[in-house]
Structure formats: C-alpha cells, structure tokens
Amino acid sequence: MKEQLKIDFNKIQEVSNFSNRDIEIKKSYLNKFIENGFPNRKQENWKFLDINQIISNNISDLSFYNDYSIENKIDPSIFIDDLEHNKIIFINGRVEKIDFSYEDKKQIEIIEHFYTNDKSENNNSLIDLNIALSNKHFKILIKKDYSLKKPLIIYHLSNEKMKSKNINLRLDFELEQNSSLKLIDFFSDDSEKNFMNIFYNFNLDKDAILKNYKIDKSLNKNLKYSFNNIDQKQNSISETFVFSAGSDYFKNEINCNLKGEYSLAFINGIFSLDDNKQHEIRTTINHLVENTKSYQLIKSVLGKNTKSAYQGRIYVDSKAQKTDGYQLSKAILLDETSEFNAKPELEIYADDVKCSHGSASGSLDDNSIFYLMSRGLNYKQAKGLLINGFLLDVIEKITDAEIKDLLKKMIGLKK
C-alpha cells in the first residue's frame, strides 16, 4: 500500500495546480498517514469495526489516484423531486455542479481552494489521508443575517467507472452571525468496492443554525467514512440526523465543540441494516463553557449477519458549569447473528451539571407481537408495526417539518 500511495501521489502532482508549498504540506500529511496507516482495532475508537481489516477483506487492490479532468454526465433522475432545493453534485469525487438558484447570490460566497491551509494537529489518520489526497475543496460562506430559502442537497454519486478507488472530499461551511443552513447529504452509488473519505468542517457564529441530514439508503458495496467537525459560538444550534442503511460499511463521526454560552447540539441517528452490513456512529460533544446543552438518540434495527456500533462521549470542562448532556442508544436484534455494541462515555470536570447516558438492546417483544396478531394482523404486519414505532421516535426529533415528512416517505415510516 505504501508504494501504491507514493506512485498515486506523484500522479496527482503531475496533473494538479498546487503550488510547491501546498505540495510540501500535502506530503507531510501523506507521510503521517503512511506512518500510521488505516485505523485498526488496537485504537480505542476503532475497537468495534476495524476499518483496516474491512478494507483488506473487501478491496485488496485499493488505489488512490483519480483523474478529475474527466467530466461525468449528470442523470437528473437521481434528484429528489419532493423538495425544492439547491444542489452541489459530486460524481466520482468530482464537483460537477454547484447551484444556488433559489438564493440571493450576494448572501452566499463560494470559495474554491486548490490547496490546504489546514495546520491543525489531529490523531485521525483518515483526516491526514483526506488532506493529502483531496484534489481541492470548497468553502461555502453564508453571510450575516441570511437564512437559505431552500435546503441545500449535496449529492454524493458514483458510477460504474469507479472500482477499488479511494475518493477524498472536503467541504468547509462558515455560517456568520444569525445565519442558517439546512443541508442534506444524499448518497447513491452505482459503483462497488470503493472507499470514500469525507471531511466537513462547520463554523457557527453567534445565533447561527445548522441542520444537517445524512441519508445513506441505496444498497451498494462501497465503504464510507464521514467526519464532521462543528465549532459553535454563543446561542448557536446544530442538529445532525443520520440514516445509515445502504453501504456495506459506513462510519459517521461527529465532533462538536460548544464554545459559546447557550449553544445547543442535537445528534439523532437510525441504523437499519441487513445483508452483512457494518455501520457505526461515533460522537464527541465537548462542553467548554457554561450553560450548554446536548441531546443524542441512536436506534438500531439489525438483520442477519449485521453489526452496528455507537460510541458517544460527553466531555464537560471544569469551566462548563450548568451543562445539560443526554445520550441514549437502543437496538432491536432481529436475528441471533446480529450484533450491537455501545460505548457511552461521560468525562466530567464540573460539579453543577446534569448528564446521563443509557443503552439497551434486545429482540422484539413476543407479547406485543401476540397482542397485535390477536387484533387481526399477521406476524409480518405486527413485526413491521413495532419496528415502525421504534424508529419513528427518532424521526419525530427532527425540527424541520418539511424535511421530517420527506424522510418519513424516503425511509417508509408512517405515523
């Protein structure tokens, strides 16, 4: 793998517009990744689903070079019809279209980078890989006091041209004071056996609102990793929802830093897995000042030979008095071969706080099924009704009514 990385990195340099300085920065991150490699179960954060082993088992000939000069045709049939929206379209890792036609263009700034100015230290080799190999990244700036009129949907698409490739994407979002953004990540793949590595960075100024919904619904044989870093100032709100179902492997990681008083972070997620799929959500909520709040609810429905994991960490700094932090995970195991792992963590250095966590897993309740069957439902209908009610509780936490109804329809849940 090391030799393949070096060969592919040299190919990227030959066709890129990077300055010599940018290439040196990228080389330093590449060397960090080569030194550490893909994460594995020896690292605490990867103890449940070992991405190094999963890649080895599924993509034995992974390569890292992609020719972003090749234009991909956009198939409009993939677009979500039930919602007027702005668009960013990625196909095979290449930006094919950016469309904010519903918005006041003076209130949105799109900055295109062919370089990285990231000097941050991190302990995540996948972020190192992303910085080293991403072709370019965009920064989306929402200006002060502006709320987008329509949601932004980012389409993450791939086609049959891609196989055994690593794709690295990065987007930065800056929400100035009292601005708001509704963002949907929509994944749809016609490719197989690729590893997609996505890094988002969000900066929320005072009174800004971010609502981010991630939908991985279409069945595919790809492996995906997504990292969201969210920094929040005073009175800002972030809401993140994850529906994790389609890919063979998907890990969503969310790191949220509550840096301003009265900032709020909400993270809700659903795993709906079958056919040997392995998915994980890992969250870290850092309460760094007084009077901040976080809420997390993750639910899993797991079929034959599937595995899900939820790692949720709440950190409360010694200055963060009057913190309110809550997390809960629940799982229904539909088969004796399914597996659910939970690792809730509280690290608290303040004494005037309200923090709690909980986790539970088990099979469907036989008494409830029997009761529903006694009222005229067959076994399949009774089972479906119970699962519907179990998952609907998470969907109801979504605060945007239009998107809530859209997601119910997409996922197939009923009131």
- Mapping DSSP to helix (H, G, I), strand (E, B) and coil, where does residue 383 land? helix
d(C-alpha 30, C-alpha 6), whole Å: 9
Closest CA to 146 of 175, 117, 186: 175
Give residue for tokens 């100032």. 233
User: What percent helix, strand, coil does the chain show, rounded to 5?
Assistant: 25, 45, 35
Closest CA to 144 of 189, 106, 113: 106
pLDDT tens for the chain, residues 1 to 415? 788 898 888 888 888 778 888 888 899 999 999 999 999 999 999 999 999 999 999 998 899 988 888 899 999 999 999 899 999 999 999 999 999 999 999 999 999 876 555 555 578 999 999 999 988 889 999 999 999 999 999 999 999 999 999 999 999 999 999 999 999 999 999 999 999 999 999 999 999 999 999 999 999 999 999 999 999 999 999 999 999 999 999 999 999 999 999 999 999 999 999 989 999 999 999 999 999 999 999 999 999 999 999 999 999 999 999 999 999 999 999 999 999 999 999 999 999 999 999 999 999 988 999 999 999 999 999 999 999 999 999 999 999 999 999 999 998 888 7
Three-state secondary structure readout of 10-29: HHHHHHCCCCHHHHHHHHHH
Q: Which tens digit of pLDDT belongs to each residue from 304-348?
A: 999 999 999 999 999 999 999 999 999 999 999 999 999 999 999
- Mapping DSSP to helix (H, G, I), strand (E, B) and coil, where does residue 238 land? strand
Predicted pLDDT at 20: 85
Burial of 360 per CB tally in 10 Å (0-12, 13-18, 19+): exposed
How far, in whole angstroms, is CA 146 from its chain's centroid?
25
